[in-house]
Amino acid sequence: MIWILANPVAGQGHARRFAERAALRLQREGIPVELHYTHQKGYGYQLAEQAVAQGVETVAVCGGDGTLSEVVPALLNTPTALGLLPFGTANDFARGLGVPRSLSEAVNVLVERHVVSTDVGRCGDSYFTTVAAYGFDAEVSAAMEAGQAPLGGTAGYVLEALRHLRHYTPPQTILSGSFGRFEGPVFLVASANTRSYGGGMQIAPNADPHDGLLDVCIVEPLTYPQALSLLPSVFLGRHIHHPSVRVVRTDTLEISGETGRLISADGEYCGTTPMTLTSVPNALRVVLPSA
């Protein structure tokens, strides 16, 4: 049995159409399927809880990372596996796990049902699948979530980032983990379970959601021209070679320094500093391509 949980407004409304087509294809394959819509915030979690309680084998999310952030906590450490139909605005978790964005190929993955345990991140009492951000990125994500950006998706993120650059002040920060301790002002800190966020920005290009660790990208203060020149390289993961950037690995990251600074996870508000982030190994069963 597969439940498809679809966000009807994800991907500018395309997710609904893809979910309906996926359900029909699964039925033709002889797989029992139910299609449910997440009509309001928080409803995805309730539906996923119901699926787990009823012993549903797979909950397939048709939407983006925002829809996933609702559903995943209900599936952690349960027999119910997460399936991915990545047809939202940002699909960085699916991208990091190699799930195709072709409807036919994504449905084939569900049919074959090759299940692999993957890590998730924990931010206070919340969980994330891709990246938790502090500093510049967290403030841009907050503006995006509040609807202040003129556009959605990656284009909106870039425009809001350019606007935010002019008045951003790097916070004095203390970072502690198995890598040691860092103290000083930072432009941003991104703790990555998978390599990208924001619709393909490869902030931690070597992050592995199966290693029990977070790849933490630390960017020290940049001038306005430096930030402008560095931003395009993030899409290719080349920013890690910049002298103001370093990447460390840790199972736990403590962020402190200035209190009350925002932290976002999967593009959603997660809390404020001080905060502890951890990797939670093998907590989520995911249906992945068998190759």
- pLDDT value of position 152: 58
87, pLDDT greater than 60: yes
Under the banding of pLDDT at 50, 70 and 90, the label for residue 65 is: confident
- pLDDT value of position 148: 56
Please tell me what DSSP assigns to residue 163: H
Q: How many CB atoms lie within 10 A of CB 1?
A: 14
CB-based contacts of 189: which residues, under 8 Å, 6+ apart? 133, 134, 135, 173, 175, 216, 217, 218, 219, 255
| pLDDT tens, residue by residue, 16-63 | 889 999 999 999 999 999 999 987 787 899 999 999 999 999 999 998
- pLDDT value of position 215: 98
CA distance 148 to 137: 14
Under the banding of pLDDT at 50, 70 and 90, the label for residue 66 is: confident
Instruction: Answer whether 117's CB lies under 8 Å from 243's CB.
Output: no
Share of the chain above pLDDT 90, in %: 69
- pLDDT value of position 162: 76
- pLDDT value of position 59: 98
* pTM (predicted TM-score): 0.90
| pLDDT tens, residue by residue, 193-231 | 999 988 888 999 999 999 999 999 999 999 989 988 898
- pLDDT value of position 253: 98
- pLDDT value of position 174: 97
| pLDDT tens, residue by residue, 163-186 | 778 788 899 999 999 999 999 999
Under the banding of pLDDT at 50, 70 and 90, the label for residue 153 is: low
